Amino acid sequence: MNALLTSCLEGELDPVQGLAKLSVAELNFLADALFRLLDVGKPEFGVKSWYDAVLDELAARGERSTRGEVPAPGEQAAVDVSSD
């Protein structure tokens, strides 16, 4: 298991401040890894909460980026990769 994912599941990473400091690439990695853990018969306790928190952080960054807001210090802006 990746160190970043392990730090989430073992309570070493703060769900609010810790996620805010991660890059978009790291958040996307976590979302993917957590989804894979959810896609088993009986996922570990807390995986769903972390998955929801990561998705919320990605959504919030996307909304701030859409409004043209500057990212907070240590935070990276989300990039719109959707095609119209």
In a domain, 76, yes or no: no
Q: How does pLDDT run across 30-40, given as a tens digit for each residue?
A: 999 999 999 98
In a domain, 84, yes or no: no
**The pLDDT of residue 84 is above 50:** no
In a domain, 46, yes or no: yes
**The pLDDT of residue 64 is above 70:** yes
Residue that the structure tokens 């970043």 belong to: 4
Whether the predicted model's global pTM rises above the 0.75 cut: no
Mean pLDDT of 65-69: 69
Residues 6 and 44: beta-carbon distance below 8 Å: no
In a domain, 10, yes or no: yes
Q: How does pLDDT run across 40-62, given as a tens digit for each residue?
A: 888 888 899 999 999 999 999 88
Provide the number of structural domains found in the chain: 1
In three-state secondary structure terms, 15 is coil
Per-residue burial over 66-81, b if 16 or more Cβ lie within 10 Å, else e, is: eeeeeeeeebbebeee
In a domain, 79, yes or no: no
**What pLDDT sits at residue 71?**
58
Range of the domain at 13: 3-66
- Taken in order 10, 14, 16, 17, the sign of the CA dihedral is negative
